[in-house]
Amino acid sequence: MQNSKKYIDSLFSAEKTIKETAKAKTFRRELCRYNPGGMGGSIMGRYPRMATPAMKAALWGSGGNLTLSLLKTDVVDRRYVDKDHFTMADLIEGAFSEKNKDINDMPLAGMTRPPFAVLHKDGGRYNHALWSEVYPFPCQKSVGQIIVKADELMEAEQPVAEQHMKDGSVTVKVEKDGKSIDVNYIFGMKRNIAAVDLSYENMDEPVAFRLYRNVDQGHRRYMEENGEYKKVVVYRPADADQSYEYYDFEADREINGLFEPPATGREGRFFWVHQVFPSDTTFPEGFRYVMMGLVSNAEAEVDENQLAKGLGTAPYIPRDGQGMLKVPGIRTMTHPELFELMEENYSHVAKAPGVAVTARLKNSDSGKARLYVAVVTVNETADYMQKAKDMLLEAERIGFEGIAAENEAWYDALYEKRENGRIIMGGTEEEKCFAADIFTDEVYQSWTSGHMGYCNPDPAKLEGGASYAGYDIDIQNWHTSPCYNELFTEGKYFMRNQYEPKMLWPRLISLWHETFKEKARLKFGLPGMCMAHGFLPPAAQSPWYMENNSLDFSMEVPGQIMKVIWNFWDYAADEKFLKNTAYPILRDLAIFYEAFARMGWDGKQFNIEPTVETESYGVSYRLEYTCNNTGALTMFRKVLNIAAEAAEYLGLDSELIPGWLEVAEKLAPYPKFRVIGGDIMGSNEKAFPRHTRGDHYMFNGYNPVNLSDEINLDSPQELKELMVRTADVVCAARNWDPYILTGASKEYIPCRYAKGAVKIENHNMLAEDLLEAPERLMNSRSGRIHLFPAVPDWTVAAFRGFLARGGFEVSAARNEEGVQAVMIKARRSIPCRLMNPWTGSNVAAEDVDTGILADVTMDLSNGECIIFNAVQGHVYNIYRKNN
């Protein structure tokens, strides 16, 4: 009998723990001299970044002008336009108006990106949500800059930042002609404090700390430099002899005014920059914050620098000799125009005046000093000025070392938690070290993700953010709020047992639940609730809030969010969460989905119309491209089925179950298209599926695999082949789902846009691929646990504490000869279904604590599936019997 626990424990105990590896690990990034680098950027991206649950910063500039540019999750311009209330009835009326019969502008060549404007009943396209495109708000705002100024080092070799994974601190050393500064930075994971620990040697001129904020330039999105509003088309009539209509900015004068300039102040040892925002519905008196500093361990002379140009570090993107922006990879990237916009936005900030407060150290030769900076907002407390002072004094009391110790304890807890979900891999010590290295990097940033802005915002506290929030710009992309149409990527966090950060979604939707019910009633004329395309601001709520005129009718998107919320039950088995959080949302969405589908009953099937394909096509005459798209069909079916499942499990709403199941059963078939090899899955009924440069990396037709789990490892072979054939034809930017989730790419990294498939030659290649596709190691989307379903036969790997559907914690190990050990812990008392790791052999399931063998049966209807009744809290050793 194989003792799986002993076997797996021996493998992991032979390796360093994640904590041991991380404590000794650093990574280095060269500072970008000209700007914060990139567009937002992740914690471990190309450029130096620091992040905490509430704040993040980019480190950039020259050696003599080391600049930290700050963002904070609640420093947000919360203005938005709440008018022109556009309904589904309006959309349908315009789409079926005969005045639009000759409009044919669907993108059947080139990019599939949709026109955002919808059809107007009088003929032509009208964009009811144009406000969202012309105004940058609502969006995160730059807090300001923290600058270490050492003019004698301006021409020093460009510095490199070294980040320490034990506590998140960053060190920078700058040297030139015998002069040097050493700067250590840390951002508190438990307190909103930035600390700068400085030592300097042989300087002829004083080193200085500076806090800076420019006069906000967000208005340049919709205003010319002279203050005139830009002309932006809102209505394009079908009749070419009719003139365009332009957006009426004058009607928004109450909310589209300019920011007042920031101000400086000082009191005793404290000095600060203070900013007041324009009035909005959430903060009628204007949101405000302070960035306050305190110098410690040194004497400094503090000066207030009033409104002037050249006080801050001016960002810009240089151009090469051919006029191209010097951005790595810009000649081949999908949307180079976004960096042209960024450079334009940088130019507004660089040319703007600003204010600063400068603490110049009195000792100009050699010495040490510390700067503590607190950022506190009126959102946190009415007495935010006093709060900042208290925080600074407390930070000074515990010191840089105390903040570092708090951070180290915080990271220790993270690393210890991530021992569940850990992977070890490789047949040689070199391969094992490589895998440990990249998986430790992954763990370091596993407390957050891009949709959270690489922080951990709490919607209930009016916090938000997104990965694309730029530093030192006042005009942000996509309102720096999370988009919901990319949540098919969230599944890996659950099976890897790293799901805690995904709590953002149930928190956000629960907070807006009642408002979404109003949205369903007012906008769609239907019961239930509808959470649409996304970008919800951390602001006062309105059922009419709409970021995108067309994509607000992408009906699969609510199902995407619901899938993530459902996973907290489906994988993590949190029954309290199911009852109190997930089911109330699921119930109301199912009510909405049923009512929406019943509008499309044609006597034979329920057609879903209108539903705009996510990120593609749009509203056309008679809704030609907006009926029965694959994403909507599969997510309607998924939501309705799991709503019935949950209601039955909880003993609730029995009267609703038959209606939900009827609609789920009689939905229209998926759109398919014929190629020489057979059918492929489409996204909508009219447009042949394709992907080209500039398209979003998703493809709606993959949703039956990567979202609803409808087509999976245990599906009929013809369905799996359908999805693989589709991926071969479409070759989207994210193309691996249909292959790996159906078990079709064991030995290859699948093809994707502009790149062919690549054979996996070694464990290093496999380990890198697992960062995005961990379900190569375990896949339970069918409800049956498959071990190592999509790895080469030579794979040597083990994992511990992966989560499977039904609430099972699974650990397993394999070598070149196959699976060697399996251990399963049950979070619920339900049957466990495991595909036989030893095909053709009898298998036992032994309760590790009691030694009792569970009754095991074998379902042979579709492969060899082991079934035994697992008991909550019990751990089972799965082993091959001697036949």
Helix (H, G, I), strand (E, B) or coil at 639: helix
Instruction: Give pLDDT, residue 883.
Output: 61
Summarised one tens digit per residue, pLDDT across range 343-372 is: 999 999 999 999 999 999 998 899 999 999
Rg over alpha carbons for the chain, rounded to the nearest Å, is 29
**Cβ(128)–Cβ(656) below 8 Å:** no
Phi first, then psi, for residue 601 (nearest 5°) are -65, 125
For residue 660, pLDDT beyond 90: yes
- List the 118-119 sheet strands across, edge first: 118-119, 124-126, 233-237, 245-246
Mean pLDDT (whole number) for 647-654: 98
Give CA angle at 862 (857, 868), nearest 5°: 20
What residues form DSSP beta bridges with 660? none
Summarised one tens digit per residue, pLDDT across range 821-870 is: 999 999 999 999 999 999 999 999 999 999 999 999 999 999 999 999 99
Q: How far apart (Å, rounded) are the C-alpha atoms in residues 426 and 296?
A: 49
Give CA angle at 707 (706, 709), nearest 5°: 80
For residue 485, pLDDT beyond 90: no
Phi-psi group of 855: left, alpha or beta (phi > 0 → left; psi -120 to 50 → alpha; rest → beta) = beta
Q: How far apart (Å, rounded) are the C-alpha atoms in residues 152 and 187?
A: 27
Q: How far apart (Å, rounded) are the C-alpha atoms in residues 570 and 78?
A: 35
Q: How far apart (Å, rounded) are the C-alpha atoms in residues 305 and 638?
A: 60
- List the 857-859 sheet strands across, edge first: 831-835, 865-869, 857-859
Q: How far apart (Å, rounded) are the C-alpha atoms in residues 660 and 644?
A: 7
Most distant pair of Cα atoms in the chain: their distance: 87
Question: According to the 3-state scheme, what is the secondary structure of 533-569?
Answer: CECCCCCCCCCCCCCCCCHHHCCCHHHHHHHHHHHHH
**Full set of structural domains in the chain with CATH:** 31-78+139-219+254-417 (2.70.98.50), 88-137+223-252 (no CATH), 483-765 (1.50.10.10), 777-880 (2.60.40.1180)
**Cβ(725)–Cβ(677) below 8 Å:** yes
Q: How far apart (Å, rounded) are the C-alpha atoms in residues 689 and 156?
A: 53
Mean pLDDT of the chain: 95
Instruction: Give pLDDT, residue 394.
Output: 98
Summarised one tens digit per residue, pLDDT across range 743-792 is: 999 999 999 988 999 999 999 999 999 999 999 999 999 999 999 999 99
**Cβ(547)–Cβ(565) below 8 Å:** no
- Burial label, 233 (beta-carbon count in 10 A; 0-12, 13-18, 19+): middle
- Give 675-678's long-range contacts (Cβ < 8 A, gap of 24+): 675/725, 675/729, 677/725, 678/721, 678/722, 678/725
Helix (H, G, I), strand (E, B) or coil at 189: coil
Q: E strands of 591-705, at which residues?
A: 672-675, 678-681
Q: Which residues of 322-349 are buried (b: 16+ CB within 10 A; e: fewer)?
A: eeeeebeeeeeeeeeeebebbbebbbbb
pLDDT band of 117, cuts 50, 70, 90: confident
Torsion of CA 319, 320, 326, 331, to 10 degrees: 120
Instruction: Give pLDDT, residue 1.
Output: 67
**Cβ(778)–Cβ(799) below 8 Å:** yes
Summarised one tens digit per residue, pLDDT across range 264-310 is: 999 999 999 999 999 999 999 999 999 999 999 999 999 999 999 99
- List the 300-308 sheet strands across, edge first: 49-51, 55-60, 65-72, 144-149, 208-214, 354-361, 300-308
